[in-house]
Structure 1
Amino acid sequence: MFANYLIGLREGLEASLVVGILVAYLVKSDRRDRLVPMWTGVLAAVALSLAFGAVLTFSSSQMTFKAQEAFGGSLSIVAVGFVTWMIFWMRRTARHLRTELHSRLDAALAMGTVAMVATAFIAVGREGLETALFIWTAVQAAGQTTDPVLGAALGLVSAVLLGYLFYRGAVKINLAKFFTWTGAGLVVVAAGVFSYGVHDLQEASILPGLDNHAFDVSSTIPPDSWYGTLLKGTLNFSPASTWLEVVAWLLYVVPVMTLFFLPGRSRATPAAPAPAEAPAQAR
């Protein structure tokens, strides 16, 4: 539940901040008449995200076992790719998100209502589709229980509440630090999803090594125990993991975490010399 709560919180807060910035800009620029098209785009994006999650669930339920494993494993790897890109993108642009959205909104206001709807739809829809895909794959990795869905739902509710408080000025969030530490947590979660996707592809006979276990500690950490469930839900830890799963986990988490915490290059340009003061006027 915790891993999916983190996904819902992190992804939901991004979408909530986007909506809050759009609403605040329209209100402060006295363009309240554009709020209806903006909310139309937001609701359309939410509906598309929910429909996408429903399609994924329905499509996989109609497949054979091997087809389900191939489908789930492939989507797990795709979801990890999207989320990894999102983590680095948000870390780089968190401080400038407001300026970027304002420039897009100015262009949309100049173009008319349809552009306004499209801007809100794209801004929120991208986050929504990524969230739906990653939550779906995380739920598959955690098993068919209600806990992952409940965790993701609680995370989304928390994100909406935080976004509203942030918009109202009732809470101050250091976005750079927030997205840095939640991003690090998502790297660990994504590594587990990636490893589970590899396992699915092994189950589908697409990748080899299904019977070559690196370790099997099922007797020490039973999968149905509370601590086994906790490790499964937070880290996607499997008590019986193949060598390929372990290698996939390490090949993802080590370089991605290293790159994530590398200090960014300083892009600051040398300060221009201060202009010389004009000589005092002779009295």
Structure 2
Amino acid sequence: MLGIALLVFREVLEAALIVSIVAAATRGVPRRGRYIGGGIALGAAGATLVAACAGAIEQAVGGAGQELFNAGVLLAAVLMIGWHVVWMSSHGRELAREMQSVGHAVKAGSSSLAMLLAVVALAVLREGSEVVLFLYGMAAGGAGTGDLVAGVPLGVVGGAAVGYALYFGLLRIPLRHFFSATNGMLVLLAAGLASTATRFLMQADWLPALGTQLWNSSAVLSNGSVLGQALHILVGYDARPSGIQLVFYLSTVLLLVTGMRLAPRFAAQRPHPPPDAASRQAS
């Protein structure tokens, strides 16, 4: 039972951390609960479908289908997170002013939420499909019904609890620093997902390793530990990274930071409607 609970906990933790960061980053945006809840529901439905088609996915593309599927999901999430942080760089101050003066975010925030709904769905899709496949394998291997019934809820509750703790911790950040802090976390999250996607592509022989192991910090903090797993999601920690993973990680950080710095300049150059037109649009 404890083994099942631990493995489910790790998978749920990965999805819960991503959902928590997304929820915190969209603080004050109207209807964000619907978007995030919808993303979780879509991801869960997709995970069940993926599990049902696991055999076909595994055998696709010369037996590398699962690795390519995982890499595709992760890279799609990276693109959507990247779009959000660049968008927030040009609209974050406007959102903060609106939250301080009126108590809720401007309606424009919902356009970015649509992208983050997909990020939530992809996170739940990937981790949920792994949970379903893992439980199926455990049941086929002779795991008792009692172990599954007791272990799965324990793992789900534990992973969700850690996610909630992160979420409420982020909400304690002062509002004037909130969007910068959450944007920074999303940049590191995207870089970590890009690094993980690179590892899957390397396993499928689609990318060269450029050095199979640059260093090994497993003795200090292993990938399999709970803390290592959490840091892997939050900042892209890997105890044994390859060269190509480091290239993708640093490239993602560089591209997003550059985009975040350029976005406000382009936003400032765009013509703005006069105050009376803006008030009519808001109404």
Give TM-score, length-normalised by structure 1.
0.58
Query: What residue number does 2:150 align with?
Result: none
Query: What residue number does 1:203 align with?
Result: 203
Contact 2:211–2:243 under 8 Å retained in 1: no
Of residues 13, 19, 25, the one that matches 1:8 is: 19
Query: What residue number does 1:94 align with?
Result: 92
Asked if 1:49 is matched to 2:39, the reply is yes
Equivalent residue of 2:215, what SS? strand
Contact 2:89–2:263 under 8 Å retained in 1: no
What per-residue deviation string (whole Å, max 9, x for no partner) do you get for residues 121-146 of structure 1?
x78554423333246558899xx875
Which structure 2 residues correspond to residues 66-215 of structure 1 after superposition, within 5 A?
66-97=64-95, 125-134=114-123, 146=156, 149-152=160-163, 158=168, 174=175, 177-209=177-209, 212-215=212-215
State the 1:203 CA deviation: 1.8
Equivalent residue of 1:131, what SS? helix
Query: What residue number does 2:250 align with?
Result: 250
Distance in 1, matches of 2:48 and 2:236, equals 23
- Give the unaligned 5+ runs of structure 2: 1-9, 135-154, 271-283
Q: Identity of paired residues, percent? A: 20
Query: What residue number does 1:241 align with?
Result: 241
Equivalent residue of 2:64, what SS? helix
Contact 1:135–1:152 under 8 Å retained in 2: no
Distance in 2, matches of 1:172 and 1:247, equals 31
What per-residue deviation string (whole Å, max 9, x for no partner) do you get for residues 55-109 of structure 1?
332244323273222111111011011001101112211343559x8778xxxxx
> Matched residue pairs, number?
220
Contact 2:67–2:203 under 8 Å retained in 1: yes
Distance in 2, matches of 1:93 and 1:258, equals 16
Distance in 1, matches of 2:262 and 2:225, equals 38
- Give the unaligned 5+ runs of structure 1: 22-41, 105-119, 163-170, 270-283
What per-residue deviation string (whole Å, max 9, x for no partner) do you get for residues 118-174 of structure 1?
xx8x78554423333246558899xx8756554445556x49xx6xxxxxxxx9963
State the 1:258 CA deviation: 4.6
